[in-house]
Structure 1
């Protein structure tokens, strides 16, 4: 999108302040469709035809890990985290941060105590 100077179309999707005009939105949709797999394309083809902003919003909502099955794995990883003897402290912290960021992306509450 940057090469075609269309990044303004997707800027601040969550706000109503839209800088891009409709022709750019349609062009962004055409560019997006070219790189999608069949499953992603089927998600957007009916509801977001020629609407790049809406297409990206649909894809974000579908692939964002918010369902319980998608949350259980990082939660389990975080709660059963154990540093191995040959693992560096940096690698251990990175594993913890990765699991925690997955939970934050899923809008799950992470508390200090796991009671």
Structure 2
């Protein structure tokens, strides 16, 4: 179900690294990509497929947890952690080429 959301909302879910600019600008760009994504025409739009998809995934996962842990705060915490994890993954994708060159001394 979640894989179909980008098609429904006409969003391009791929992460495109900025690659140039200051650390803060690139980091900010990477982190905001969980909330902003290009549509099929290349215009920035709300990343509904990410935000709703994570919500759907959390809703499905509720059936696996004991009822005492199905509180609103627990659900919000798990949802927030999932979004934070995706933002962190985007930041890693943004800076991995720099890490590979400057720390691991791998040149493409």
Highest RCO, 1 vs 2 (Cα 8 Å, sep ≥ 6): 2
Structure having the higher helix fraction is 2
Structure having the higher strand fraction is 2
| TM value normalised by structure 2 | 0.29
Whose radius of gyration is greater, 1 or 2?
A: 1
| TM value normalised by structure 1 | 0.28
